[in-house]
Structure 1
Amino acid sequence: MFAPRTAAWPLVALFTAGYLAPYLLPTTVGRLDSGLPLSATQAGALGSALLLSSAAAGFVLASRVDRIGARALARVGLTLAVLGYGIAALTGSVPAVVLGALIGGFGSGTATTVAATGIAAQPDPHRTTTVGLLGVSALAGAVYLAVPHLGPGHGQPLAAIALTALAVWPLTGRLPVRTAAAHSPLGGTRLPHRRSGAVLAATMLCWSLAQNALWGVSGRIGLSQAHLTEATVGAVFAVALGAGLLGVTVAGAVGPRFGRAVPVGAGTAVIAGCIVLSASATGLGSFATGEIAWNLLYPVVLSYVIGLAACLDPRGRWAVLVGSASSLGTAAGPLTGSVLSAQAGFPVMGAVLAVGLLVIAVPMAVVASRAGRWGLVTPRGGAAHQHCPAPLSGRETAPDVATAA
């Protein structure tokens, strides 16, 4: 088993290394567009391919960490990240960049899978996750501030991910060689609340797609439509990531004491407004307001959705399935945003995404309210609270699949 006291900081570092790629998605896609002979749509497709490769690692490895061993699997993941992102950063050949991004994405997903599995064994997994989010947000903010001063080209954000993986590799010596065989969360008895769980999984796929469609093109919105410099856009993203940390803190402090229907339903509706504002921004004020407000609310709603999925089945099977659906939406987001914006423009893209979010906000809120009527959502200290834990959160939900497992 993971040793809680000795494994916490290596897991936080591994979490940071794995999560950095999706956090740097806007600048990565933007620089692929400008630094290589790729169209905006092609750059978005490459960003989607990277995230899909990362999600695939979670699907394949989530139930195998215990059998393979956390230390060996973490080292494989970090090695793939160093090699993949390093190759992509150092070459100007488009096929080599594509191959490197796919290899690096699988490495990132492997690292986050090991980290999330270990975090689930910690005495306070929410606290460990929050520390990991603090680390990756701070590092990503620093990269956003530094990249504009490092010259043109596509390689700087990719190199930052590779160097982070390289720096974390020595810490894997603190991870266990092998852990006890894990019980599969997908086997066994019939799934409870099947209709509500299926609705939540389907809507979560669309929810994640909308969020990452905007995130994947946010850099281009700031540069080409709001007419900001790369340094200014980077500063806005750094502040927005800080706002996300505030959202994580608030969600963890409030917990489920006010239920989940209002945070999930109303929060999704407000996020739709933030997406419209950001996508239609023509200056610093509207762009910064939309991005910062959106990043403040995004992790709050996400944390309640993940907690709701856990409530539907105390064995965590719905949390696994909902997290998997979310990962698919996350991977498809950058390509969706690039295609919509290329065909219709950023404001129309934002309106389409917002309408979609408003539509799915209703069934998501209904599922959350039903959970309350079933007695699954109780104030802290209630009898059902053990089966409805305080929310976990993060930008990319693929690691939550492993955590739920």
Structure 2
Amino acid sequence: MSAATSKAPSGLATLTARVVMGFVGTWVFALMAANLVPVLIAAMVQDLGVDIATAGALATGMTAGSAIAMFVTTRFIANADRARLGRLGLVAMILGYGLAAALLTTPAVMGGLMLGGIGAGIMIATGTAAASSTQNPDKTVTTVMVINRLGATALLAIAPLFHNDLRSVLIVITALGVLGLILAGGLPNLPGTGANAASTAAAAPSTGSSTAERALSATTIILAISMCLWSLTEDMVYSMTSVLATQAGITPETSSALLAGKVGGGLIGALLAPLALRWIGRSWSLVIIIAVSTITKFIMITSGSAVAYGTSIIVWGVMYGAILVLVTGLAAVMDVTGRVGVIVSGFYLAGVAFGPLIGGQLVGTLSPLQYALVVTAPSVLFGAALFVISRSRRKFEDGNTTAVVVAEPAAAHNDAAPAGRA
């Protein structure tokens, strides 16, 4: 497919089949390892003979590698050849998980997970930045997340067939990396990358641009820190579902099925998020969804009822998918170069990284009520920050539009909100 057929008149990419496959081969596949963290933890406990705290620490090393790689990649992601950069990440992912599968010793698994995590981070960074270079970042994010939820649901649904066999899980992730090498070529670059990239991002007059950039930088920092705290507490629950399910009297087989249902719920949430964005706007959608998510997390941890746990984890999954789409879409709309999206996603992954580690240390020492308060309290701050950010600009609130060119004057993008919108 020629470049001309995959680009809109503005130069921003449209979602052709080739472009979508580029996102699948990088962003979607990179997220699969993170989706499989509970399975990896259980498999490491069984096959490596480590305790759950150590297994959680190994999973933390993997995701921390992804976050670090994303922060490094942020510096040059705007002008990079994203297909080439994505393939570099895929090679690291293949080598890392392949090495761990081949040797299957604790040191090899530790090193392999970290190398694979670094590769996944590069892939997530390229996919996240590429989303900002499409005509409708919210639509792109929704498409990617829906495909990710479908794939993750399928993987978790067949996870019981692995019988917590660590080598089998690692081989599956490695195979996805190999397939990604074929698909990655469709990732879109920022129009005018290379010598003309700077002029593309700063095409507007310089007057007032520093004010706009400072305002956006402050918003980015607040959004990134909020996302980190939220993802940290979410994964303190997600990575400990095997413990919480046992507490509710649920068998490991049923727990695996519910975990697949939770990720499947994320698919429903990803599909519902664009409707909520259109009907009531991003700010109120996030407030309502975060409130429901917080309540269901609390019930999962404190209730000893299998019915309450099973219902809550499915609803929680729906809310998680919706939140991820709405926040990732917000970050993608905030900067056409993709830097904001990569920074926010990097902080999100940092939270994901330390969730298993902190969760593994606290779940056995705190009472269920104490643990529930620890993982739900940050959601209040997260929701408040997102509400304020979403309502600060009409473009952020409504979504479904092209991304902001950061260097343009503040007045160019700080559209006046209609009556009733702050």
* Shorter-chain TM-score above 0.5: yes
Conserved in 1, the CA contact under 8 Å of 2:226 and 2:381? no
- Equivalences for 1:89-100 in 2 at 5 Å? 89-100=101-112
* TM-superposed deviation, 1:353: 0.9
State yes or no: 1:192 paired with 2:215. yes
1:210 to 230, 233, 240: 233
Other structure's SS at 2:365 match: helix
Distance of aligned partners of 1:378 and 1:195 in 2 relative to their CA distance in 1, 3 Å threshold? closer
Partner of 1:70: 82
Distance of aligned partners of 1:250 and 1:180 in 2 relative to their CA distance in 1, 3 Å threshold? same
Distance of aligned partners of 1:53 and 1:196 in 2 relative to their CA distance in 1, 3 Å threshold? closer
Conserved in 1, the CA contact under 8 Å of 2:231 and 2:355? yes
* TM-superposed deviation, 1:386: 5.5
Conserved in 1, the CA contact under 8 Å of 2:25 and 2:182? no
Amino acid at match of 2:260: A
Conserved in 2, the CA contact under 8 Å of 1:54 and 1:106? yes
Instruction: Write the distance in 2 (CA, Å) between the matches of 1:293 and 1:259.
Output: 21
* TM-superposed deviation, 1:40: 1.4
State yes or no: 1:28 paired with 2:28. no
Unmatched segments (≥5 aa) in structure 2: 8-12, 406-422
* TM-superposed deviation, 1:126: 3.6
What's the % identity of the aligned pairs?
24
Please list the CA deviations of residues 81-107 of structure 1 after superposition, one character each: whole Å capped at 9, or x if unmatched.
112112223333211110000011111
Instruction: Write the distance in 2 (CA, Å) between the matches of 1:174 and 1:215.
Output: 32
Partner of 2:268: 246
1:10 to 19, 22, 39: 22
Conserved in 2, the CA contact under 8 Å of 1:267 and 1:297? yes
Partner of 1:80: 92
Partner of 1:328: 350
Instruction: Write the distance in 2 (CA, Å) between the matches of 1:366 and 1:174.
Output: 35
Say which is worse superposed, 37-46 or 186-195, in terms of deviation.
186-195
Partner of 1:270: 292
Partner of 1:226: 248
TM-score (normalised: structure 1): 0.81
Partner of 1:400: none
Say which is worse superposed, 338-347 or 11-20, in terms of deviation.
338-347
Say which is worse superposed, 252-261 or 265-274, in terms of deviation.
252-261
Amino acid at match of 1:238: A
Partner of 1:295: 317
Distance of aligned partners of 1:256 and 1:138 in 2 relative to their CA distance in 1, 3 Å threshold? closer
* TM-superposed deviation, 1:54: 1.0
Instruction: Write the distance in 2 (CA, Å) between the matches of 1:198 and 1:89.
Output: 38
Say which is worse superposed, 290-299 or 25-34, in terms of deviation.
25-34
Say which is worse superposed, 343-352 or 136-145, in terms of deviation.
343-352
Other structure's SS at 2:281 match: coil
Instruction: Write the distance in 1 (CA, Å) between the matches of 2:339 and 2:187.
Output: 26
* TM-superposed deviation, 1:133: 2.4
Partner of 2:193: 180
Partner of 1:39: 51
TM-score (normalised: structure 2): 0.78
Say which is worse superposed, 206-215 or 6-15, in terms of deviation.
6-15
* TM-superposed deviation, 1:50: 0.8
* TM-superposed deviation, 1:282: 3.3
Partner of 2:415: none
Conserved in 2, the CA contact under 8 Å of 1:208 and 1:327? yes
Unmatched segments (≥5 aa) in structure 1: 390-405
Instruction: Write the distance in 1 (CA, Å) between the matches of 2:367 and 2:265.
Output: 27
State yes or no: 1:156 paired with 2:178. no
Partner of 2:412: none
CA RMSD in angstroms comes to 3.4
Partner of 2:71: 59
Distance of aligned partners of 1:257 and 1:327 in 2 relative to their CA distance in 1, 3 Å threshold? same
* TM-superposed deviation, 1:28: 1.3
Other structure's SS at 2:325 match: helix
Conserved in 2, the CA contact under 8 Å of 1:265 and 1:361? yes
